[in-house]
Structures are given as structure tokens and as C-alpha cells.
Structure 1
């Protein structure tokens, strides 16, 4: 039982050392991720469209 209690005490101590991001940092990083995903999806869509048309021309 002592080991379990010590585990939770150590876990709480470690969590107090963590530097948590601010709300603005989280919002900014979220925007970067969403824009990156949108651009990547558009790029893949264009590549898919071009390759599909090339396959149609060949066959």
C-alpha cells in the first residue's frame, strides 16, 4: 500500500513541474495544425485529380 501512495505522491510532484501551455499558445498551435491539414488535403486532392485524368488518358 505504501508503494501505491508513494506513486501518487511522485506523480503529483512531477505534474507540478510541467510547464503547461497558455490558452493563446494552444489556440495558435491549433490554427497552425488546421491550416496545415487543409493545405495538405488540397494538395492531395490536386495530385489525385491529375493522376486520375492521366490514367483516363492512358487507358
Structure 2
């Protein structure tokens, strides 16, 4: 039991050393991730549509 308590104390000590992002940084990172995901989703949707149409043309 003592080892578990020691472990959580050390975890708490280490968590205080962590450099957390500021609100503005976090907002910028979130917008960047959402924009990237949106771009790649649309990109792959267009590629998928193109390949599907190409295969339909070949098989008909």
C-alpha cells in the first residue's frame, strides 16, 4: 500500500513540472488540427470518388 501512495505522490510532483499550453496556444493547435483533418477528409473523399468513377467506367 505504501508503494502505491509513494507512486501517486511522485506522479503529483512530476505533473507540477509539466509545461501546460496557454489558452491561445491551445486554441491555435485545435484550429490547426481541425483544419488539417477537414482538408484531408475532403481530399480523400474526392480521390475516392474519382477512383470509384474510374472503376465504374472501366467495368461498364
Work out whether the TM-score is over 0.5.
yes
Query: Which position in structure 1 is the counterpart of 2:29?
Result: 29
TM-score (norm: length of structure 1): 0.89
Tell me the TM-score normalized by structure 2. 0.87
Gaps of 5+ in 1: none
> RMSD across aligned C-alpha pairs, in angstroms?
1.0
| Alignment correspondent of 1:9 | 9
Structure 1's consecutive aligned runs of 4 or more residues displaced over 4 angstroms after TM superposition are none
Question: What are structure 2's unaligned runs of at least 5 residues?
Answer: none
Aligned length: 59
Match of residue 39 from structure 1: 39
Offset at residue 49 of structure 1 (A): 1.0
The Cα shift of 1:9 comes to 1.7
